[in-house]
Structure 1
Amino acid sequence: MTRPVDSGVILLARLALAVLFLWGGVMKLLGYAGFVGYLQSKGVPFVQIAAPIATAVEVLGGLFLVIGFKIRPLGLFLAAYTIATAVLGHDFWNITDATLQRDMIIHFWKNVGIAGGFLLLFVTGAGRISIDGARSPRGGLGSSL
């Protein structure tokens, strides 16, 4: 048995995470050449493949978070994606400038925290206020994988 407020809180969590991904994805689209250059500067392999995939993951992932579609598998996938972007994009251990290193440390651990939020969505599911919730036969908090 779930409390009615649970689905509202889960919706707010999904929307908060979606803002990050939608904003990031749209900014990548608007500044695509700069994003590709950034990935190249970080030594990301296969940039011509990685850049469009990362952009699509952020835009589509953000949209799926908003509508609450396939949240359990999406939560697990986006947790892994967020950790991968932390390691590749916020590699503070390679920074010698103290100010920039501090900034990268904050961003790295921010990504770890965001991944934790995605893991919670993996456990809870999308809640009733979602496509997953509407499709759930029992109308519970989440949906099955």
Structure 2
Amino acid sequence: MNTLRYFNFGTAQPVLLLLARFLLIFLFLLFGFPKLTGFEGTVQYMQMLHAPLPMLSALIAVFTEVFLGLAILVGFYTRPIAFILALYTIGTAFIGHAFWHSTGDMMADMNTKIHFFKNMSIAGGFLLLAVAGPGTLSLDKK
């Protein structure tokens, strides 16, 4: 028996969209705040990754993960910011998780590959959010 047909997604939609926003942005906030508070370390990490303009890359990472992350969480300009975060997440996958540059360490290579495809999945979630919008439990709807 299909129990989902008895679940009313219409009435649950606002809560589910709020939960989706929280789950999508949780990693950004969890790892973004330490990038902000340990900014010099963030710049050094960008240098290690050979990111273009490490200082600017670190500023972009902090702004995107913390401030745009908070905007998504509260549902402020959700659609355009979700699209920006999708592009950012794809970019970080290519810069920070380039699994095709094999190190020969099978576990490290697998970890990098997992993170690359995790980023792609998160980008897909942001694209869905850009299309669906934030729902009624958001600043966009106030």
- TM-score, normalising length: structure 2: 0.88
How do residues 26-105 of structure 1 correspond to structure 2 at under 5 angstroms? 26-96=33-103, 97-105=105-113
Alignment length (residue pairs): 133
Q: 1:133: Cα distance to partner? A: 1.7
The answer to whether 1:125 aligns with 2:128 is no
Unaligned runs of 5+ in 1: 135-145
Unaligned runs of 5+ in 2: 1-8
- Quote the residue 2:6 is aligned against: none
Q: 1 CA distance for matches of 2:100 and 2:45?
A: 17
CA deviation digits over 1:48-75, x for unaligned, max 9?
A: 1111121011111121111101111011
- Paired amino acid for 1:37: Q
Q: Which has the higher mean CA deviation after the structures are superposed, 17-26 or 107-116?
A: 17-26
Structure 1 segments, 4+ long, off by >4 Å, are none
Give the SS at the match of 1:63: helix
- TM-score, normalising length: structure 1: 0.87
Identity of aligned residues (%): 44
The answer to whether 1:110 aligns with 2:118 is yes
Are the equivalent residues in 2 in contact too, given 1:10–1:127 (CA < 8 A)?
A: yes
Give the RMSD, CA atoms, in angstroms: 1.3
Q: 1:18: Cα distance to partner? A: 2.1
